[in-house]
Chains A and B, each alone.
Chain A
Amino acid sequence: DTGVSQNPRHKITKRGQNVTFRCDPISEHNRLYWYRQTLGQGPEFLTYFQNEAQLEKSRLLSDRFSAERPKGSFSTLEIQRTEQGDSAMYLCASSSPMNEQFFGPGTRLTVL
């Protein structure tokens, strides 16, 4: 399968715990995006990589969120000290320059 994949698909955690999500983009895409989406809303931009460089991070993103793309291929998104407000669907997308973004299936996070 050559689409975008994300793991895990679902994550339930207790408040205060750390969680890490993984995204494997389409192999020839050099751009990778992380979004957060809650019910009835469009995707909210979190951060963006071009190859291994993190070029933009949302100003709304707290310091508890960090993302990496160490070799310009897969990416990880870590949330430290999770809060109930972090419960959402976390979407990863990839694209080649100036083309449409292809989304992965998402990771649904529930913080208890």
Chain B
Amino acid sequence: GQNIDQPTEMTATEGAIVQINCTYQTSGFNGLFWYQQHAGEAPTFLSYNVLDGLEEKGRFSSFLSRSKGYSYLLLKELQMKDSASYLCAVRDPGGGNYQLIWGAGTKLIIKP
């Protein structure tokens, strides 16, 4: 079956670093996405990995290991505005439609 696992909630301190993990089991794989979603708002795109390794984009980095079915999102120099849910999604090419399979999201709480 299709399964995306993320921790439900994490807490971190302003200025610190936090790593949000995502493990997946899907019938196919054609890339992994991370989205940020503030409460009551729509998800916004953060990063995309299709090959193994680390992709860095400013304070945010995302890592992928396809053999382990594992990714993480690393947030550095945390700011209060980073308090949000972080959604991991895997693109599955099954049937030719390349749908996204979504995790339930990790709620990140930033404390001063």
Interface residues of A (CB under 8 A from B): 40-45, 48, 55-56, 91, 98, 100-106
Stretch in B55-63, B64-72, B73-81, B94-102 with 4+ CB within 8 Å of A:
B94-102
Classify chain B's interface size: 20 to 34
Given contacts A40-B105, A56-B95, A100-B33, contact A45 B42 (CB under 8 A): no
A38 shortest CB reach to chain B, Å: 10
CB-based contact A48/B48 at 8 Å: no
Describe A's contact surface by its main secondary structure. loop
CB-based contact B105/A42 at 8 Å: yes
CB-based contact A100/B48 at 8 Å: yes
CB-based contact A42/B45 at 8 Å: no
A6 shortest CB reach to chain B, Å: 9
Given contacts A91-B42, A100-B33, A103-B43, contact A41 B99 (CB under 8 A): no
Nearest residue (CB) in B for A4 is B42
